[in-house]
Amino acid sequence: MRILAIETSCDETSVALVEASGGLRNPRFRVLKNIVSSQIEAHRPFGGVVPMLAKREHLHNLPKIWKQLSKTELRLDEIAITVGPGLSPALWAGIEFSKTLAKELKKPLIGANHMEGHLYSNWLSPMGKFKNLNIKGKKVRVKFPAVALVVSGGHTILLAMKSLTSWKKLGETLDDAAGEAFDKVARMLDLPYPGGPEIEKLAKKGNSKAVNFPRPMLRDKSYDFSFSGLKTSVLYYIRDHPKAKKTDLAASFQQAVLDVLVGKTTRAAREYGAKSVLLSGGVSANQALQMALREATEKTGAEFFVPNSQFNTDNAAMIAAAAYIQKLRKKSLKLEAQPNLNL
């Protein structure tokens, strides 16, 4: 089945065309097209995403991206649209556009959950390919039980998965999401939005042991996270040490976040006997996090999965995957903006 998917929940306008096949035991996704138009430049002067500006940009970008698709690419069976979570005006822009499109093309429209999209981005093969290969070139398939860490700008969630569609939420952030902490600390260091990639760049040149920032809730029995205290510690440290090197601050902050994420995820992997550990969400683009979690996962005997680099941050290909799996489950989501939808 060919799915045209649209994603407008935050500051990326994305349209993808994905060929989906297989059942819930082994769904396969071949990404034929994944166009992402970033609004970063429009929001940068404001230091973060402005919801009404995001809506305006989506309304401007969607018809432009639509025109880039050729007639042959428009042989499709279904249209998928993100209905939440996200910014309400941004979500509505995509929903209204897809409703009109579905009517015009006389195709069914399926609502999809953005967070399920991130989770299932681990099932997307690299662009144009049918199979998922690991870094050694070996064909891989997620085995259950699995533990999944979803880390984005709005969420930090740890799941124990029995199967593709049945999971228990082990924990989530009690305050700031991991990506949000990266963005806020970046602002303290006068780095542009979005802060995650900027911190990562600086951190490569710094000493991660320079400042011993707290590792919030690392020793806590629960699987919940909290990054707000860490963010405040960085703020006070900068105030008290105005000459501290930005590279060292970035590296030390990043290390503190990584230690918590990796520590809790691998503890969960051991406790639940995970055969696979899955990382996803915008923060999963962070190479240091990927390396640390890969190494720690391999020590538990589980296999480590992270989406191909095009699918870490927001994209519509993952929305096609979420919509397809939702369809296989015979479930549906209301076609209206649901800003607080969760996993």
Question: Among residues 102 and 112, whose Cβ is nearest to ligand KG4?
Answer: 112
Nearest to 175 by CA among 242, 132, 226: 226
* CA gap 260, 225 in Å, rounded: 8
Longest dimension (CA), the chain: 62
* CA gap 265, 158 in Å, rounded: 7
Residue 268 contacts which entry, ligand KG4, Zn ion, none (Cβ below 5-8 A, type-dependent): none
> Which amino acid type is present at position 11?
D
CB of 122 to Zn ion, least distance (A): 14
* CA gap 21, 99 in Å, rounded: 24
Residue 182 contacts which entry, ligand KG4, Zn ion, none (Cβ below 5-8 A, type-dependent): ligand KG4
* CA gap 9, 60 in Å, rounded: 15
Compute the chain's Rg from CA coordinates.
20
Residues whose CB is less than 8 angstroms from the CB of residue 335 and which lie 6 or more positions away in sequence, other chains included? 81, 83, 95, 99, 109, 111
Residue 111 contacts which entry, Zn ion, ligand KG4, none (Cβ below 5-8 A, type-dependent): none
Residue 20 contacts which entry, ligand KG4, Zn ion, none (Cβ below 5-8 A, type-dependent): none
Cis before 85? omega within 30: yes
* Packing angle of the helix pair 88-105, 51-68 (nearest 10 deg): 30
CB of 223 to ligand KG4, least distance (A): 20
Interface positions with Zn ion (CB under 5 A): 152, 314
Residues whose CB is less than 8 angstroms from the CB of residue 26 and which lie 6 or more positions away in sequence, other chains included? 141
* Packing angle of the helix pair 246-271, 228-240 (nearest 10 deg): 160
CB of 12 to Zn ion, least distance (A): 8
Residue 116 contacts which entry, Zn ion, ligand KG4, none (Cβ below 5-8 A, type-dependent): none
Question: Among residues 152 and 265, whose Cβ is nearest to Zn ion?
Answer: 152
Question: Among residues 206 and 281, whose Cβ is nearest to ligand KG4?
Answer: 281
CB of 319 to Zn ion, least distance (A): 10
CB of 115 to Zn ion, least distance (A): 8
Question: Among residues 180 and 314, whose Cβ is nearest to Zn ion?
Answer: 314
Question: Among residues 206 and 307, whose Cβ is nearest to Zn ion?
Answer: 307
CB of 118 to Zn ion, least distance (A): 6
Question: Among residues 10 and 269, whose Cβ is nearest to ligand KG4?
Answer: 10
CB of 243 to ligand KG4, least distance (A): 26
Question: Among residues 101 and 177, whose Cβ is nearest to ligand KG4?
Answer: 177
Residue 154 contacts which entry, ligand KG4, Zn ion, none (Cβ below 5-8 A, type-dependent): ligand KG4
DSSP label at residue 216: T
Interface positions with ligand KG4 (CB under 6 A): 10, 152-154, 179-180, 182-183, 194-197, 200, 281-283, 285-286, 313-314
DSSP label at residue 173: B
Residue 255 contacts which entry, ligand KG4, Zn ion, none (Cβ below 5-8 A, type-dependent): none
Cis before 192? omega within 30: no
